[in-house]
A and B are shown apart, each in its own frame.
Chain A
């Protein structure tokens, strides 16, 4: 219980920058994804078998998610969205193993949300031109300029906080149940809070990212 209430623990420091356990586990997840991708890509065969078959299911699933939501002409976003989906999903379900999920650290989720925010701003400026971009904040009246900026900033904050709050809330509830009955009873809660909520929140994060970028490009 205390473990989850006190937030991420500092494992070690690199040049004065504290490296917490969530960041370190995040690195392990990234290394695992990179390694798995590298190994699978080296062993491609015409007839998918074993690992390649699973990898193709995942890749095709992400691809169809992107093409269904953004349109088949915007498949250039597929690598970004696919990486987000894989990283968030694997991070979320790590709670099953008793590890603190990297997505229960607000720094990691807000980092991803800020990435989305910068992407949205870039594609809006690209679609409307610099002048049209500045003008779009004075819509419909010039006096609404500050309100438009606030509403623009609220999107990444809610995006990052939603993932963080859901995963951290789930871990705290599961940790509380462990305090009361540590045997057998937490299993269904693990299934709900780590696997089901983890999958739903992954889907929603990717979906909202795609919707925001698509809206910015119109």
Chain B
């Protein structure tokens, strides 16, 4: 296979990796924040507890997005060897 083609495909794939991986965490974090706002409206006195639980949940939801970012960086590193 042409090395140039491998490099181009790797660069394109790195863009797709981070772009597609951003969808899930975006939905998940927004959902967690929305539910946290609902909980805050119902029980404003639990503010600090709700916010810390929300941040923890969002961090766990974010993990797949970060995997996508790491994968895209790895692909860019591979592409550098071919271009």
Q: Which residues of A contact B (CB under 8 A)?
A: 5, 158, 161-162, 164-166, 168-169, 200-201, 203-204, 207-208, 211
| From A168, A169, A208, contact of B59 by CB (8 A) | A208
Tell me the complex Cα distance, A200–B54, Å.
12
A-B contact list, 24 entries, CB within 8 Å: A5-B76, A158-B63, A158-B66, A161-B63, A161-B67, A161-B70, A162-B62, A164-B66, A164-B70, A165-B66, A165-B67, A165-B69, A165-B70, A166-B62, A166-B66, A169-B69, A200-B55, A201-B59, A203-B52, A204-B56, A204-B59, A207-B55, A208-B56, A211-B56
| From A5, A162, A211, contact of B66 by CB (8 A) | A162
Q: Size class of B's contact patch? A: 10 to 19
Tell whether, in the assembled complex, residue A161 and residue B66 are in contact, meaning their CB atoms are under 8 Å apart: yes
Let me know if B32 is at the binding interface, CB within 8 A: no
Q: Find chain B residues with CB under 8 A from A207 CB.
A: 52, 55-56
Q: Find chain A residues with CB under 8 A from B56 CB.
A: 204, 207-208, 211
Main secondary structure of the interface of A (DSSP, over half): helix
Let me know if B73 is at the binding interface, CB within 8 A: yes
Tell me the complex Cα distance, A61–B60, Å.
24
Distance of B49 from chain A, by nearest CB (Å) = 9
**Given the contacts A5-B76, A161-B63, A162-B62, A204 and B70 also touching, CB distance less than 8 Å:** no
Tell whether, in the assembled complex, residue B63 and residue A162 are in contact, meaning their CB atoms are under 8 Å apart: yes
Q: Find chain A residues with CB under 8 A from B69 CB.
A: 165, 168-169
Tell me the complex Cα distance, A158–B60, Å.
9
Distance of A202 from chain B, by nearest CB (Å) = 11
In the complex, residue of chain A having the shortest beta-carbon distance to the beta carbon of B66: A165
Tell me the complex Cα distance, A114–B63, Å.
17
Q: Find chain B residues with CB under 8 A from A164 CB.
A: 66, 70
Q: Which of B46-83 contact A (CB under 8 A)?
A: 52, 55-56, 59-60, 62-63, 66-67, 69-70, 73, 76
Q: Find chain A residues with CB under 8 A from B76 CB.
A: 5
